[in-house]
Chains A and B, each alone.
Chain A
Amino acid sequence: DARVTQTPRHKVTEMGQEVTMRCQPILGHNTVFWYRQTMMQGLELLAYFRNRAPLDDSGMPKDRFSAEMPDATLATLKIQPSEPRDSAVYFCASAPGEGNFYNEQFFGPGTRLTVL
């Protein structure tokens, strides 16, 4: 049963610390998304990649957030320095397909981040 995995599942850190969240997309999926979910803002698209290349990161605060795909099996989202307002659940999702741009997204279980 292929699934998107995310680590860590929970992270508590202090303001100013660096936070790294990792995602392993489903094998063979070439599109990877990062989302942030809060009660106030709902589900926000931060960035996404196709074939490891960033296609859009306009939803991501550039001064402190960065997203990369070092290889096809790993996507990372870093926050440096972290702030209390970054507290949220961060989801990674992956999707298959090259020619079809409308494919189903498969979400991971999320990383719950708390910044004190």
Chain B
Amino acid sequence: LAKTTQPISMDSYEGQEVNITCSHNNIATNDYITWYQQFPSQGPRFIIQGYKTKVTNEVASLFIPADRKSSTLSLPRVSLSDTAVYYCLVGAYSNYQLIWGAGTKLIIKP
């Protein structure tokens, strides 16, 4: 069963690139890696998803090495509004396993 580990908190400054890494040593063949963002008093919101290598969308990039035992969410040029908790999710609905990380609280400073 995959277990995910991510840093509890991170600080950065506006305009910087932020990388948050999630460790998932026991990831299974069917598992995808998904990242969510959560603001206070709201439900999590999907950011990006990938299976291997690199995925990029309009808000983030996701880097997954060949062994897939970790993944890195990259947020380019962060702003104050990126202050939130970021969750790594590993799993596949097909085998009913969804493993959420504990979340990384990201604080962006002016």
Contacts and interface: CB of A to CB of B under 8 A. Distances in A.
A99 to B, nearest CB: 10
Q: How large is the interface on A (under 10, 10 to 19, 20 to 34, 35 or more residues)?
A: 20 to 34
Interface residues of B, number: 19
A104 B103 contact: no
Contacts, number: 48
A74 B57 CA distance: 33
Contact of A102 (B42, B44, B92, B96): B92
Interface string A45-65: 100101000011010000000
A108 B43 CA distance: 6
Interface of B: 32, 34, 36, 41-46, 49, 87, 92-94, 96, 98, 100, 102-103
Interface of A: 4, 31, 42-45, 48, 50, 55-56, 58, 91, 93, 101-102, 104-110
